[in-house]
């Protein structure tokens, strides 16, 4: 029987970004019938203190005769770094070649690795044949920590089914007749996503612009605080978590997407906004600093600067022609670079047992 690729991934039915990434990618890989994946889903143990040990035991039981390659999907965060690092150690001892996808990258924990955990990195992740990251900055850090293998800087991507019925021409035609301009914030509702700066900037904008609306979508630890904060604001809506058709409708009906995070890897919500032809206002952090094309895709500001955020939004809202130009560029860029089908084609050579020269 041909060997398979072992995919170690969080529960695919969960709502996390890594699960969404692999659900879309596995669907696209069905066209490459020479690749065979076996998923080993980890996590989801709730308050069971034995959960992490159960995950390690499941990897321990993996037979090296069944797999030609394994893929692990950590983030550079305390829990994931050590859990997935131990997966890497087990795979190395079993002589199963493996690839690492770093999906998230926390700068604070990066400093801890610098001070205390480089040896753990060398004895775990550094045995990978290839490591994928979302920023050249992260690539530089891996080299600094002593990794000698291949490092690929990639993007995340979206499931092209999300935009299969979307037309940028119809959207722009509809917007030209609309008086109200709609800003969308869609992310976890917590301070680190810049939600409070978003609200402050919008409230300031509203003093000069009467025809603007803000929709806040998502859930999180600050949900109730935010609802209370804006309850008297007639042009701010807090809609909670959205999925499926409701999420698609929000992207279709919005004019600008805004995510002023304090730190990021390369958030899928930004890529989704681009594919729906939304000008984006975001911050100069993480992978966004290197991926985002300032001026062509929208505007970038410094994190925690509500005044800069207000000015960036104002410059777009006051220039419909510029917004239309950006919308067309973003939609076309998304079609060419950001769908799961395009990414599956890019990644296919790395998942084969031997990468072509």
pLDDT at 319: 94
pLDDT at 47: 79
Greatest Cα-to-Cα distance within the chain, rounded to the nearest angstrom: 68
Q: What is the CATH code for 4-157+339-351?
A: 3.40.50.11930
The predicted model scores a pTM of 0.85
pLDDT at 17: 81
How does pLDDT run across 181-200, given as a tens digit for each residue? 999 999 999 999 999 999 99
pLDDT at 256: 97
Is 4-157+339-351's fold the same as 162-337's? yes
pLDDT at 354: 52
Domain boundaries of the chain, sorted by first residue: 4-157+339-351, 162-337
Mean pLDDT by 10 residues, the chain (357 residues): 87 86 92 86 86 95 95 95 98 98 92 98 98 94 98 92 92 78 96 97 93 96 96 95 93 96 89 97 92 96 96 95 96 95 93 58
**162-337 architecture in CATH?**
3-Layer(aba) Sandwich (3.40)
pLDDT at 340: 95
How does pLDDT run across 124-147, given as a tens digit for each residue? 999 999 999 999 999 999 999 999
How does pLDDT run across 307-357, given as a tens digit for each residue? 999 999 999 999 999 999 999 999 999 999 999 999 999 999 998 765 444
């Amino acid at each position: 029987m041909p060997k398979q690729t072992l995919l170690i991934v969080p529960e695919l039915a969960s709502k996390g970004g890594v699960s969404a990434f692999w659900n879309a990618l596995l669907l696209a890989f069905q066209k490459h019938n020479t690749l065979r994946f076996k998923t080993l889903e980890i996590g989801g143990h709730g308050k069971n203190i034995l959960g992490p040990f159960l995950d390690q035991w499941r990897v321990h039981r993996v037979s090296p005769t069944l797999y030609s390659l394994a893929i692990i999907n950590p983030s550079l965060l305390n829990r994931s770094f050590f859990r997935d690092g131990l997966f890497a150690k087990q795979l190395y001892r079993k002589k199963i070649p493996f690839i690492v996808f770093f999906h998230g990258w926390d700068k604070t924990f990066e400093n801890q690795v610098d001070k205390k955990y480089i040896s753990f990195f060398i004895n775990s992740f550094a045995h990978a044949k290839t490591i994928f990251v979302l920023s050249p900055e992260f690539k530089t850090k891996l080299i600094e920590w002593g990794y000698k293998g291949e490092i690929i800087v990639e993007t995340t991507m979206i499931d092209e089914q999300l935009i299969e019925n979307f037309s940028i021409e119809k959207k722009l035609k509809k917007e030209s007749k609309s008086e109200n301009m709609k800003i969308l914030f869609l992310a976890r509702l917590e301070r680190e996503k810049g939600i409070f700066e978003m609200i402050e900037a919008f409230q300031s904008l509203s003093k000069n612009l009467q025809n603007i609306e803000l929709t806040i979508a998502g859930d999180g630890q600050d949900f109730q605080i935010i609802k209370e904060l804006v309850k008297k604001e007639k042009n701010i809506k807090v809609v909670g978590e959205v999925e499926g058709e409701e999420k698609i409708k929000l992207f279709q009906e919005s004019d600008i997407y805004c995510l002023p995070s304090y730190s990021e890897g390369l958030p899928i919500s930004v890529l989704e906004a681009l594919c729906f032809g939304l000008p984006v206002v975001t911050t100069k952090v993480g992978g966004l600093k290197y991926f985002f094309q300032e001026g062509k895709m929208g505007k970038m500001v410094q994190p925690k600067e509500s005044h800069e955020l207000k000015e960036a939004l104002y410059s777009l809202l006051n220039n419909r022609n510029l917004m239309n130009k950006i919308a067309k560029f973003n939609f076309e860029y998304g079609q060419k670079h950001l769908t799961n089908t395009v990414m599956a084609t890019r990644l296919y050579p790395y998942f084969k047992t031997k990468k072509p020269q």
